[in-house]
Amino acid sequence: MNTSSAASRSREVRYVFDHVPDAGTAFEAAPGVYWLRMPLPFALDHINLWLLDDGDGWVIVDTGIASDVTRNAWRRLFGGIMAGKPVTRIISTHFHPDHFGLAGWLTEKTGAPLLMTRTEWLTGSLLFGDVGGTVSREQVSLFRRHGLGRDRLDALEQRGNSYRRLLSVPPAHFVRIADGEQLRIGGRDWTVKVARGHAPEHACLYCADIGVLISGDQVLPRISPNVSLSAIEPAANPLARFLESLDRLAELPADTLVLPSHGLPFHGLRERIDVLRAHHEERLWRLVSFCAAPHTAAETLDVLFPRVLDTHQVMFAMGESLSHLVFLYAAGRLQRQTGDDGIVRFRAPA
């Protein structure tokens, strides 16, 4: 028997559906939980959204980006499956634009309140309000200190506040949700499970009655969510927070149906968490080996991402590299030194 192949199969997720809903349509993925899918203008070309039957109304979970395509898809839903029942609440799992982008438009259109964790609402509102691009410049400055070349820095500077372009004006107020809180929706309790690392206070939603986890971006079936160091909080250790959050989610029942924001609904939450942990540990060991000699975060990009990266991907790749290097530094597995040139380099202890 090939034990390595058997082990690999044991860690595979098991998909529930072999098709996806068209934009502006929905179908029931679990009792009272309807799956929507909206297009995105990126390499990751879609986001899954969720519509929860709330008895006499609907609860929307995540919104899509602020684009005419997404607005028109919502209009089709309002005239289709959602017709005749009001929206009672809108929940954004976190501040990223594909999850928060149309929160303002939807709250204005429906009159429903927005529910988010406090840190996510504050972060999204801060970034949208950064008209002068201060945060973007700080991110470029962070990357400059970590060795990114002039051409790539210039390209990032020219992007400015790309976040703002993907949002409608966010709501001026919100209803705070917090870890462990129970939301009563359609006669069932949904527990807020805050996860960190991909975003500062990402809200997953778990319903024990039907064994469903709306995982947002925290657990995806095929790709690892981006875990980046941000210039907003440069002393943070986001990878440590991400791995800690995976440990908490792994405590859920083994037969939990996971509804992710990208990819297909699946069973195999614990198996997928094992794979994500192994993925990051492999990257950490690769970096320790590479840093036998001093290297900048920019020099590690070819080690972690051995492909051509466009400007959008460079931003995420640098953030991801830094999150791993900072994790290793905090664990004592790498040393950190700032040279006379002002550039930070990492090196494994002798």
pLDDT in tens, 301-341: 999 999 889 999 999 999 999 999 999 999 999 999 999 99
Predicted pLDDT at 43? 86
pLDDT in tens, 76-127: 999 999 999 999 999 999 999 999 999 999 999 999 999 999 999 999 999 9
C-alpha separations of 288 from 10, 240, 282, 292, 347 in Å: 29, 17, 10, 7, 8
Predicted pLDDT at 5? 38
If pLDDT is split at 50, 70 and 90, which confidence band does 12 have? confident
If pLDDT is split at 50, 70 and 90, which confidence band does 6 have? very low
pLDDT in tens, 180-218: 999 999 999 999 999 999 999 999 999 999 999 999 999
Predicted pLDDT at 4? 38
Q: If you ran DSSP here, which 8-state letter would residue 65 be given?
A: -
CA atoms of 316 and 342, how far apart (whole Å):
22
Predicted pLDDT at 350? 86
Residue keyed to tokens 């699946």: 266
Tokens standing for residue 125 = 């509102």
What domains are there in the chain, each with its CATH number? 10-281 (3.60.15.10)
C-alpha separations of 12 from 222, 225, 261, 267, 276 in Å: 10, 17, 18, 9, 12
